Each structure stands twice: as structure tokens, then as C-alpha cells.
Structure 1
Amino acid sequence: MKHIVFFFLLFTIIRFGAHAQIDTQRHGNRFEQLGTTLRSPNVYRTASGAPGHEYWQQRADYEIVVELNDDNQSISGKEKVTYYNESPDPLDYLWLQLDQNQRDKDSETPKIASSKIHPKMNLGELEDIIWHDMDLGLKIYSVTDANGVAIPATVNLTMMRLDLASPLLPGEKFEFNIDWSFNSHDRTSFLATRPGYEYFEEDGNYIYTISEWFPRMAVYSDFEGWQNKQFVGRGEFALVFGDYKVSITVPADHMVGSTGVLQNPGEVFSQKEMSRWDEAKTSFDEPVVIRTQSEAEKLEKHRSSEKKTWVFHAENVRDFAWTSSRKFIWDAMAVRLENGKEVMAMSYYAKEANPLWGQYSTKVVAHTLKSYSSRTFDYPYPKAISVEASNGMEYPMICFNYGRPDKDGTYTEAIKYGMISVIIHEVGHNFFPMIVNSDERQWTWMDEGLNTFLQFLAEQEWQRDYPSRRGPAHKIAPYMKGEKSLLEPIMTNSENIIQFGPNAYAKPATALNILRETVMGRELFDFAFKKYAERWMFKHPTPDDFFRTMEDASAVDLDWYWRGWFFGTEPVDISIRDVRWYKIDSRKPNEVKADAKKAYDHEETYVSRTRNKEDIAQTVLERDPDVGDFYNSFERFKVWPEEEKEYKAFVSQLRKEEREMLESGLNFYEISFENLGGLVMPIIIEFQYADGTSEVETIPAQIWRHDEYEVSKVFAKQKEVVQIVVDPYRETADIDESNNYWPRQFMPSKFELFKQNAPSRGTSSGPSPMKRERK
């Protein structure tokens, strides 16, 4: 009994002794709390991540009258803004955003962009260099107060400051008026920006997507003061909630879609359209086509000289956008959310987008509203619109998307799934940031990353095995193992990011998916994520509020995760360094002798002995047996009766638990892991057994807390292990899967003979089975 107890103690000393003397240099800060990295909690934002008891935010209401000139593609408007100071601070001046000035001849955008001359230059590249010749900025004609008195205004590129005659005190409101205009531009040209128009040479008509089009209030917040960073194209918008009344005058044959609810449908719809619109309100299974393709094609041929004014009203939105064209087909259907609320999903698209858009767009809108609502909050607005506009951009209740088939009506899989994905993504932006209203100019990932994560979930609900580009962990690995000088933390200002898509969209979406699937589990994650969305709907959250809420609502310490994934650039690369196999010495005489024989045979197997069997024809003992004695003939590994007796006496002294352990036949595998990448993560291990079965175990990331570079772990297994695999389901974004195996598996690397140029966004490329089938 004393002997076997000593064996187990010795085994423990060998296993843990090395870790009793940890090299302090191997313990860094990866598991330290974020502490002062986050803003200190206060009365406005609590340590739990919720709005504080004195949380406040500003408000701005707009009344806008705007007219579209279809002859020269210009926009002119007047607006009355009512700004409410809900802050505790007196304000000496107000800041407004003039986003259209980003396309002006004096814009900083082309100035801060590097450029080169190449042996071959296309027109777009040259136009990009001579951007200063464009006349696309906002023309401000007047800024007056409610009494018509001019307000001193200073325009600084894309920002305008209004100097108040007296401070706007807390609790007060201020009314002012602005008259303005600007020239729209071809958004399909080299500028390729979100708003503008697309011209169709075949029928001489335009599709207008009007956004970022009027002077908008900048955000004044408790955590930043005025958000008046210049808009240079990538960092999007920090905006104020309010109510809008917008009157839009367009050619009488145009169809208009916009943020808000139409107030005068009887004045702008035909009787047929009114009837179909009423039908759509009760159609939950299929979209109802309200303006058909044949009707739109007739309008394309005869331009009306008359005008109509469409009046829309929107409550509690942070922005307003609209679209207009005589080319539009319009369909719509009703969507019933989980709480029983009914909203409208609809699409506007030209004939060039059919049959793809008529089949999919509105149904994708409806699915997105249901999917996102189930994970955040019920969609609060009355409608959501998808517009086919050869680009992708989002605004409250309306978004512009791409995905146009070839002229013969065929399309590739890439176009189909690209269209579905961009519609999900842009409609999803209604939730982030249109309602959960983060500052896009500072933290792009807070809307793009969170939205891309929910997009991935919605895509998988749309179709099993949907070919999602972003979300699965292994798809971010190529970016994370890229050139270090080209990587920035997710917590980087949008204008400073080199690889914008991977950093602001894919990496945060992947990080959230790993949190949900591997670190927290679906139940804890889903509850915490929903709590964040509910806490901050119609408010202005910061990253700190998100990080704190996710921990507060789940009781999972995630500071190490935020530090690694959001504040760092290290990749995941966990390697199996070594595996040692142990079995308990059972002390059974027959097993002891069998092991001894195996060891003896191994010891006595060497090259000379093998060759001597052929080279030495006969040994002396073989010629003369008389030279032999007892030791030349005895049974070396015989089990003697005394040994059996001693073993039985030994077993009889053991306690029941000790006998069971002795007879268990357990296999002990001591596995050493190396953290080669630096980013600490859980270790997911698959054990494949000799009998063909397997099982997976997950070791929490905290195993690295005392040594961030190398750890070992012993596993007791009833069965014999023949293969060990780390991260078998590709959950952690490990950048080198070749070192995830024991024994090692060697996988050949492949190379391409040549690479093709990437296709333009939203256009067909590669083989089209649909086109081939038609031929």
C-alpha cells in the first residue's frame, strides 16, 4: 500500500514540479483587468454598462422642403431645425455636418489620399487626381434664426459652426433655418460614393439615391463633447435623434421611397397603386407588386413635365434618406414580428434588376427584420426598404443595395448570394447604428462589426450551409497572420485602418461569433447581447458600454478577450509541442514480467545481432551444449508462486478506491501546448481512439494565466488515443493548423499558376451555370 501511494505522489511531483518555478517573464498582462483602459463610470454611464440615472442626449427636429431637378440633376432645399439642449452645459455655438462637402473641389479626401502614375492609367484614376475640378459641394445661401435674423456661420470643410447671440442653456431649444442646394453626381463614376444618381443611357432616365444631403446636427455627448471630426469618406456618421417632416417635389411620374411614413398617398398614387398598396398590407407570404415592370417601362418612354410633392413624416430617427425614379418597380409585403407588431417590407428596383430582385429582395428584407428582432428588440419602425442602386449603404428605414443580373436575366451564384448578403447587411443596419446609435466616425466596428455578426446568423437562417464570407473563425485567419505592419487593433479610428473590411467588419464579427460559440456559449451570449441592444436602443453607446454589459449580464470575465481581440493584433496559433503517454503500474506479476520481456527484447535488438544470425553459421553453445548451464535454459520471465503470493498480500491491504484505480487500466496523456501566436484562447482538443470513437474537451483560456506561452495538461482516458487534434472544428481562428496534430500530419501547400483580377462589386464574374443551361 505504501508503495503505490508513493507512486502517485511521485507522479504528481513530476507533473506539477516544473510549474512551481514559473519564469515571471512569461507572465504578461493578457489576463489583467482593463481597468483604466476604459472610461471611469459616472452618473451618465454605469460600471455595469447601462445608461446612468442622469444619462442625457440631445435632440433635433427637422422640417425640410426639397426639390429634385431631373434636367440638371441638382437638389435645392430649405430646412427648419429645432435643437433641444438636454445636456447640463450651456452651449455658445452649434456644429452641423455638411457631408456633401466631402465631394467638393476643396475636399480633404483627395488631398490626403496617396497617388502614383503608372505606365497605364484609366480614366477613373486620372479623374481621381483632378477631383478639384468638381463642383459638388453644398451651397449655403442663408442661415437665420426664427425671426429671420442672420446667424454668423463658419464653414470648415464638412463642418459648419453657428455662433449664437446668447448661450443655449440646459433645457432650452433653438430654432434656425438654412437654405441650400448642391449638384448631384454620378455615383457609378470614379467617385463611387453612396449618394448620387445612376444614368441609364438606353432609356435616358436616372435613379436618384439621395443621402447625406442636408445640413445635419452633429452630436454633442457626455463622453466627447462635440463630435466634429471632418468627414473624408470612410468614417461615417454620429447623428442626433429627432422627428422629421420632409416634403419632396419630383417629376410627377417618379416613384419615391424614403425614411418615414407617406402622409399623402392619395395625391401621389394612382387608384391601382392605392388598391395594391392596401393589398400588400395584409400579404404576409408573398410580396404584392404595386407598380409593375410593364407600367415602369411605359413611364420610361414618356417623361412627365408636371411635378408632385410627396410628404413624409418620421419619428425618432437619426437621419433621413430617399430615392426617386420613373424606372422603379415597387413591391411590398407585411411582416409580423414576435410581439405581434406588423411592419412593411418593400423594394424599389428597375427592370435591369429583374428577375433577381423581384424574386428575393423583399423576402430578404422580411427575413432580416425577423432575425435581427429575435436577437435584439422588435423592430420599432413602420417599414424597411431595399433599393437596387449598384452600391451598399444604410439609412433609417431605407437602404441602397447592389446585385444586378446580366442583360439576358441570368446571374451567377456570386451575384445571388452577394445581393442577399448585402440586403441583410444594409437592412440590419437599422438596428446598428440607426437605433443603437454608436459613433461610426470613431468606432466603425460598433456598427459594422456587430451588424456583420448578426448578418452571419441571418444568412445561416436563410439557407443551410449558406456561403457566408464573414463570421466563421477560420476565414479571418489569413488576415490575422498577415504582415504585422499592416495590422491595427479593432479599436482604431476608421480613417487610420489599412485593411478596412477585415478589420472593421470581419474581425469583430468573428470575435463575437467565437464568443458565442466557444467562450461564453450561445445561451449566455445571446442574453447579454440582447441586453446590450435593449439598454442602448435610441441612445449613444460607447465600446466601454458594450464590453461592460456583455460581462455584467453573463458573469463571464472577458477583459482578457477584449484586450486580445479588440485592443491587440496578435493572432491565434496554439501548437501541440509534446505528448507523453503514461499507464499505472498495476504490479500484477504477469504484467510486470510481460513488460520486462518487452523491454529486454527491445534492448537486445540491434544491428549486429540481426546480421549475426546470417553471418555466424554456428555458435560454440550450438556446437557444444555442454558449455551451457542453468542460465542458458531457464525461463527468464516466469511468474513464480512467491510473486503471486506477494501480489495478493499487497492487494488485500488496499482500500476499495485504490484497488479500483489500480485495476482501471487508465491511460494518462500529458500534453504540452505552446502559444506561438500570442493571443490566448481556449484549447479545444479532440481525442481520437483506437476503437474508432472520439470525444472533444475544452480547456478555458484561463489555463494560460500563469504562463502565457507554454502549458501542460494531463488527461486520463479509458481508451487508447491514436490521434490528438487541437481546434478540430476550426473555432478559434488558428492561423497554422499544421501544428494542431499529434502525431503530426503533413499537408501539402498548393500554388496557383496565375491569379485573375477581382471583379467589380455587384457584377457577374466566373462561370455562370444558369447562362450555360440556357444556351
Structure 2
Amino acid sequence: MKRNFLLLAALFFSITTYAQHLNNPGSNHGNKFEQLGTMISDPNSYRSASGAPGPAYWQQRADYEINADLDEKNLLLTGSESITYYNNSPDPLSYLWVQLDENEHKSSSDNKLTEGSKMTEQMDYRTLSGIINAKNDLGVKILKVTDENGTALPYTINNTMMRIDLPTVLKPSGTYKLTISWNYKISNRMTTGGRGGYEYFPEDDNYLFTITQWFPRMAVYSDFQGWQNKQFEGRGEFALVFGNYKVNMTVPADHVVGATGECQNYQQVLSSNSLSRWNAAQTAKAPIEIVNLDEAKSAIAKKSATKKTWTYAAENVRDFAWVSSRRLVWDAMATYIDGKKIMAMSYYGPEAYPLYNKYSTKAVAHTLTSYSKHTIPYPYPVAISVEAANGMEYPMICFNYGRAEKDGTYTEAVKYGMIGVIIHEVGHNFFPMIVNSDERQWSWMDEGLNTFCQYMAEQEWDNNYPSQRGPAHKIVDYMKMPKDQLEPIMTNSENIINFGPNAYAKPATALNILRETVMGRELFDYAFKEYAKRWAFKHPTPADLFRTMEDASAVDLDWFWRGWFFGTDPVDISLNDVRAYRMNSMKQELENKENQKAFEKNNYIISRERNRAEGIKFAVEEDKSLLDFYNKFNRFEVSKTADEQFQKYYRSLSADEKALYESKKNFYELDFSNDGGLVMPIIVEWTFKDGTKELDRIPAYIWRKDENKVTKVFAKDKEVVSVQLDPYRETADINESNNAWPRKTQPTRFELFKQQQAPRGTSAGPNPMQQSRQR
């Protein structure tokens, strides 16, 4: 009996849950336009129904003082940190959770076991080593954990998370100080993967160190989920706590160090020439090389045996990362946001010099300007781009790619790819470094929002910029995939199959469609800036974004969030039929001519033509007695009283009716069907007989009473010859073949293919710059 009760309860729960998502299941209306309701979290005193932080909103804080030593010879990083943790929550805490993300590289880490694998004809080292999963000595080694008095604290490590048990409960408004000492073997990120580690350059026997996720970091404790202690599997990034940092990094003396925050001791670590250039860069309008290419090459050749300590400080940041190498050129220039000076800087090796020296720092400055215009003014004093053959972001510093060929040339794809990744990674300062969403749970809240802003910045960089994510038509191939290969945007990071399209491209496209097509730029821009202002240096959830966008614009967008973010339906609006109408002129002469044409067309029979052609003798011709009045009757003859009848009709019209009559409007009745399932605005382009065009934009609400089919009549002054839906490809319609009337053929091209065998492993794509030098 108990088992049956549980089964019934589970069934009831599943049915009621389903009903919450489909308000009117089985119907053609009452689903897609219902409010989100229980699909998003309820508002409360911490998060208001408007999407703003509530009156009781709180968040934790953690301040760090860190000492780190980089052992280049043994590829070992050793560190000690003091953490001051502030419990601003209303909850007493008996333990703290700390992230040990470097443990993802351990051979025993869960992420090594839970990823599927396949054999292919070509297997690289990284893939095979992952399958073999040989034991390694990677991962964090905790040396000790103590309180501020040096008393050992008990701790438990579970994969990438460490729980520290407190001797007494940390009460609300209390603080706790602890110290953690650790070390770890730095991994080769070019073979092991991951975001941080080293890259080795065998041609000069040197290293580039990108030190990220490198210290035990406090996990987030929040009002909406308590501890965010979900394991780091390698994809879902980091939910982190804001605080202040002071970090001392001891490295080989000829290394250049760039890091989160501002350096506190340039006078001690820079040469007099570099310090002089640094001072000049404070007012420079173009990048100045603080460390130039010749100096970098000299350091590469000599290699110092001594060490220096660089000290950096940063306020109100959620993380800290750094780069260290003797292989670095470093340039900088001042840029200004709302009158505040920000140092835009780049660090790059000789192989990236032709591209980075020309573009990187200027791209950094452009990104800050563009993003600040669309969100909030950039609040930090520094923004850094580092060339490291990858792409990853941290407060005030990011790692990108973009290397030239050995002869200094580069392809157009590399150029725009580099500029795009710099904009993207620098842009992450805004999402999620400042507007600090939970990346471990919702990748799209940082990647998607940032990719959208990246798209705007790219288009503001160059009107012909070849943006790959953002334009609506670029997401079509993904959205037309089979449903079993798709998942909603509102899916946990680790459960997404096509991560790039789902977490980056689709939300960026959705926001672009909101801005350009659904809301319009004025309403969208105001609401998006409001979201950034409300949640700067705080922890927003998806509901906070959804609610703020509606609250600040007075546009009901629940249908849009429901379709684009909670569903997998594509856009496919079909124009099924067009019927033309005109008003009866009541002029018998004119109407009879039109009626005669219609009559003849509708009564045309092929047999009649062929009977005449064969010379058949018809009965009524051979026997005239068979003829009567109707054989001679002309139904389309104009009566003698036609004009008098028209005048009588016209005099009976009111002034408004006469005006409508004289307008001589053409009426077109259009049938649309929603074949894809995702409701969207209907955009209709009319082409008239005189060659001119006109555009009508019908809001998505036209589907509210029938989500599958709608019919709408349009009145036009001129005669229409063709109709086209979505002419500017704004809605991500996956099937453009049903968007036109009359139907259009879809032109494609082919060429005679000369079969040839390309060498295995060669890359496609020309390098016109290189080819021009060979002429």
C-alpha cells in the first residue's frame, strides 16, 4: 500500500510539474504566451520581483594575502595564503568549502572517468593519454590548514572540493581567518589541457607560465543555493567570492609578470629604461613597448639564475591570475572611460609580435569603450591581453591566441579570430567578473551575454567584421538539428552536447534578436544597462535577468524566454497562401469587364477548344429552333441606367466612406503557419508592381490565440507582385524556402570536381599576405 501511494504521489508530481510548463496541454493556444510562473524562482526579500536585489540581499566576502614561488627548473608552484572570510549571510556556518580546481588534472579525478571516448584512424597524444589515464603527480598537495593562531584545522578533500571544519560556528556578521599552504606540479596545458599551466618552446628552451585556478579559492555561499560546491569537471567554470587581494610572486629575475590588479613595486622589478617607458605610457595615445622585442630576445638567450618578487594588489575582484615568462614583449597605453584612466596592456612572445604589436592593446581599449557604453563604465584600473595560444578570462587579465607564420605573415582568419578572442576575453571582465553569475551552473549567463556584447563590439570595430556568432542566420544549422541532439539554453554546463552553439551562440543570437527585432534598440539598451547596474559586483541568477529586462522596458518577454531559453523548438514560419482582394467599384462597366475575365477563366474547358478545332457541328447551330433568349443574352452588357445607379450609391456614402472608396486600396489576405514551433514576430516585405518595397513588422503576439496558424489581411495602396518573409534574416528561420510568394527556387552552384588527394594533416585556407610576398 505504501509503495502504491508513493507511485501515485510521484505520478501526481510529474503531471503537475508538466502542467506548470504547459498551461493548456493539447491545445493550440494558452501555452507559449503564458507567464513563466514556477519555471523560475519565486521573488523574496533577497531578490525582488522586479529583478533587482531585494532589501535583504547579502553576499559573502573573502580577502586574500598570498605568497607564491615559481620553481621554473622543477615546474613547481608553492604557495601560502591567509584568507579572511566574512559571513554576511543570516546563516551560522559550521564549515567552509574551498575549491581545488587544479585537482582536475589528477589521474583519479572524476572528470577522467566520466567522459566517453572513441578510437579513430588518427589518435593524438592528448587523446590517448586520456584513455590510458596513466597515474601522474598532478593536483594540489595541501601542506597544512591552520587558523590565525597556527592551530591545525581538520579538512576533507572530495575531488576538486575541500571542506574545512570550523572549531566553532561562524555566526552571521562574523569573520574567520585561516591559512592554507600548498604546492602543485605545473601541468603542460598544451598536452594535458585545462586553462592554466605552462607552454614549452623547444627552439629556445623556455617556458610561458599562465598561472590560473592556482590557489585554494573560497566557494560561493548564496541565498539561492547555499554552498556552490558542485565539482569542477573542466567545463562549468567558476562561482567565486568578491574580495581584496595582495599577492607576492617570486619568479626568475628576468621574467616579466603581468597579473590581476596593479603592480606595487615596479621601481624594484623594472629596469630604468622599462620604468621610464612605463611612465611615458601613462599619457600615451598609442601603445608603448615597456619591454621591447630585442630585450625579450636577449632574455631568452641569457636566462637569469636569480629571482625577483613582484607584488600586485587588487580590490573587489573575484579571482586572481598571472603570467610569467622571459619570452614576453610588453606594451601599454592609457585609455579613458568616463574620464577615468585605464591602462590597456598586452604581453606576447616573438611569434605573436606581428599581430599583437599592431592590434592587441588597441583591441583591449576598444573593448572597454564598447562594453562600457552598453553596460557600465569599466571600474578597474587595468585591462590586460596575453598571447598564450588559448582563450580564458580572469579579472583584469585574459589569455588569448594569435600567432603569425615564421615569415611574419598571417591569414585573414587568424587576424579576425585573434581580434575576436581578445574582445571576447577582455569582455569577460564585465560578464562574469563584475556581473558575477554562477558559471558552474549556467555557462550561458557569462558566455552568452559576453558573446552578445562581443558581437556588438566587433561590429563597432569594423562595419564589415565577419562575426561568427550573433547574426540570426548563423545559428540556423544548430537549431535545425534533431531534437535528441539539442538541449535548452537553461541546461547545466556539464550536460550540454554542443557547448559552443548552446552556451555561446544561441543566447547571443537571442539577445541580438531581442535588441534588433523584438524590443528595439532603445528599450533593449536601457533594460540591459539596468541589469548590469543592478547586479554589478553581485551574484545574479537567470530570473534576475529575465525580470529586469521586462521591468525596465514594459515589454512582456515571458514568451521569448520560454521559447528561446527553456525550449529547443526552432523558428520556421511559413507563408502558405496569398489572396488578393479589391473593393467593388460599383461601376458596372469596370466591374463587368473584370467579371467577364474571371468568368471566362473559370469556365474554360479544353474540350470546347478541341471541338471547335475539329469542326464539330453543334446541335444549336444545325437546328436554330433550339435557340432562345439566353443564347443571345450578354450577361456582361452594361445597362443604360448603370451610371445613375452608381451615382445613387456614391451619394449614399458618408465622408469617411467616400475617402476609403477613393483610396482604391488593394487588400491581401496572408496565411501563415508556425511549422517550427518557436513563436516569433512576422516580418513581411512587399514588392510592388512599380518596383518599390515596403516592410511590415507584426509582433509575436499575433500567435497568442492560435500558436500554429494565423491569417491576416493587409491593405496596400499599390499592386503587389511578390511577398517575402524575414527578408533581412532577423529571426533565425531554419527554412527559407517557404518564406516567399510566389515560391522561389533556391539557387545553388556546383563545379566540375577534379579528384585529387591532399596530404594528410594539411590545413585549408590561403594566406594572401604570404602569397603577395612571393610574387
Q: TM-score, normalised by structure 1?
A: 0.93
Q: For residue 673 of structure 1, what is the aligned residue in structure 2?
A: 672
CA root-mean-square deviation: 2.4
2:71 counterpart of 1:69: yes
Q: Is the 8 A contact 1:586 1:663 kept in 2?
A: no
Matches within 5 A, 1:42-191: 42-118=44-120, 120-189=122-191, 191=192
Describe the superposition over 1:259-289 as per-residue Cα deviations: whole angstroms up to 9, x where unpaired: 01100111000111011001111012x1001
Describe the superposition over 1:572-621 as per-residue Cα deviations: whole angstroms up to 9, x where unpaired: 10001221111111211111221232134325533233234443299899
* Residue aligned with 2:663, SS: coil
Q: For residue 195 of structure 1, what is the aligned residue in structure 2?
A: 196
The Cα of 1:404 is off from its aligned counterpart by 0.9
Q: Is the 8 A contact 1:67 1:75 kept in 2?
A: yes
Q: For residue 292 of structure 1, what is the aligned residue in structure 2?
A: 292
Q: Distance in 1 between matches of 2:628 and 2:213?
A: 105
Q: Supply the AA of the counterpart residue of 1:442.
A: Q
Q: Is the 8 A contact 2:524 2:553 kept in 1?
A: yes
Distance 1:580 1:653, change over 3 A: same
Could you list the structure 1 runs, at least 4 aligned residues long, displaced by more than 4 angstroms after superposition.
617-636, 748-760
Q: Distance in 1 between matches of 2:275 and 2:406?
A: 31
2:601 counterpart of 1:602: yes
Q: For residue 271 of structure 1, what is the aligned residue in structure 2?
A: 272
Distance 1:328 1:24, change over 3 A: closer
* Residue aligned with 1:355, SS: helix
Q: Distance in 1 between matches of 2:602 and 2:384?
A: 79
Q: Supply the AA of the counterpart residue of 1:694.
A: K
Q: For residue 575 of structure 2, what is the aligned residue in structure 1?
A: 576
Q: Distance in 2 between matches of 1:759 and 1:48?
A: 57
Q: Distance in 2 between matches of 1:770 and 1:476?
A: 31
* Residue aligned with 1:26, SS: coil
* Residue aligned with 1:197, SS: strand
**How many residues are matched?**
749
Q: For residue 508 of structure 1, what is the aligned residue in structure 2?
A: 507
Q: Is the 8 A contact 2:496 2:502 kept in 1?
A: yes
Q: Distance in 2 between matches of 1:456 and 1:716?
A: 38
Q: Supply the AA of the counterpart residue of 2:295.
A: E
Q: For residue 370 of structure 1, what is the aligned residue in structure 2?
A: 369
Q: Distance in 2 between matches of 1:308 and 1:633?
A: 114
Q: For residue 216 of structure 2, what is the aligned residue in structure 1?
A: 215
Task: Indicate the larger mover: 589-598 or 512-521.
Answer: 589-598
The Cα of 1:502 is off from its aligned counterpart by 0.3
Q: For residue 647 of structure 1, what is the aligned residue in structure 2?
A: 646
Describe the superposition over 1:243-265 as per-residue Cα deviations: whole angstroms up to 9, x where unpaired: 00000001110000000110011
The Cα of 1:120 is off from its aligned counterpart by 4.6
Q: Supply the AA of the counterpart residue of 1:145.
A: D
The Cα of 1:106 is off from its aligned counterpart by 1.4
2:199 counterpart of 1:204: no
* Residue aligned with 2:234, SS: coil
* Residue aligned with 1:527, SS: helix
Q: Supply the AA of the counterpart residue of 1:114.
A: G
Task: Indicate the larger mover: 599-608 or 522-531.
Answer: 599-608
Q: For residue 400 of structure 2, what is the aligned residue in structure 1?
A: 401
Q: For residue 320 of structure 2, what is the aligned residue in structure 1?
A: 320
Matches within 5 A, 1:359-758: 359-603=358-602, 605-616=604-615, 637-748=636-747
Q: Is the 8 A contact 2:25 2:31 kept in 1?
A: no
Describe the superposition over 1:498-540 as per-residue Cα deviations: whole angstroms up to 9, x where unpaired: 0000000000000000000011100000000000000000000
Pick aligned residue for 2:31 from 17, 29, 32: 29
Q: Supply the AA of the counterpart residue of 1:451.
A: N
Describe the superposition over 1:287-339 as per-residue Cα deviations: whole angstroms up to 9, x where unpaired: 001111011101100110011000011000000000001010000010011x2
Q: Supply the AA of the counterpart residue of 2:73.
A: D
Q: Distance in 1 between matches of 2:638 and 2:34?
A: 59
Distance 1:626 1:171, change over 3 A: closer
The Cα of 1:28 is off from its aligned counterpart by 4.1
Q: Supply the AA of the counterpart residue of 1:323.
A: V
Q: Supply the AA of the counterpart residue of 1:519.
A: V
Describe the superposition over 1:628-651 as per-residue Cα deviations: whole angstroms up to 9, x where unpaired: 998777876432321221221222
Q: Supply the AA of the counterpart residue of 1:318.
A: R
The Cα of 1:624 is off from its aligned counterpart by 12
Distance 1:710 1:391, change over 3 A: same
Distance 1:359 1:603, change over 3 A: closer
Q: Distance in 2 between matches of 1:472 and 1:756?
A: 35
Q: Is the 8 A contact 1:399 1:427 kept in 2?
A: yes
Distance 1:215 1:671, change over 3 A: same
Q: Is the 8 A contact 2:103 2:109 kept in 1?
A: yes
Q: Is the 8 A contact 1:414 1:764 kept in 2?
A: no
2:310 counterpart of 1:310: yes
The Cα of 1:115 is off from its aligned counterpart by 1.6
Distance 1:243 1:685, change over 3 A: same
The Cα of 1:72 is off from its aligned counterpart by 1.4
Q: Gaps spanning 5+ residues in structure 1: where?
A: 1-21
Task: Indicate the larger mover: 431-440 or 659-668.
Answer: 659-668
* Residue aligned with 1:315, SS: strand
Distance 1:170 1:644, change over 3 A: same
Q: Distance in 2 between matches of 1:388 and 1:750?
A: 40
Q: Supply the AA of the counterpart residue of 2:164.
A: L
Q: Distance in 2 between matches of 1:714 and 1:458?
A: 40
Distance 1:59 1:662, change over 3 A: same
Q: Supply the AA of the counterpart residue of 1:213.
A: W
Q: TM-score, normalised by structure 2?
A: 0.93
The Cα of 1:27 is off from its aligned counterpart by 1.6
The Cα of 1:117 is off from its aligned counterpart by 3.2
The Cα of 1:743 is off from its aligned counterpart by 1.0
Q: Distance in 2 between matches of 1:580 and 1:755?
A: 53
The Cα of 1:662 is off from its aligned counterpart by 2.8
Q: For residue 283 of structure 1, what is the aligned residue in structure 2?
A: 284
Distance 1:756 1:706, change over 3 A: farther
Overall identity of the aligned pairs, in %: 60
The Cα of 1:389 is off from its aligned counterpart by 0.1
2:230 counterpart of 1:229: yes
Q: Supply the AA of the counterpart residue of 1:344.
A: M
Task: Indicate the larger mover: 538-547 or 616-625.
Answer: 616-625
Distance 1:478 1:120, change over 3 A: closer
Q: Supply the AA of the counterpart residue of 2:487.
A: E
Distance 1:481 1:251, change over 3 A: same
Q: Is the 8 A contact 1:415 1:764 kept in 2?
A: no
Describe the superposition over 1:688-711 as per-residue Cα deviations: whole angstroms up to 9, x where unpaired: 111101111111111111111001
Q: Distance in 2 between matches of 1:237 and 1:758?
A: 42
The Cα of 1:150 is off from its aligned counterpart by 0.1
The Cα of 1:23 is off from its aligned counterpart by 12
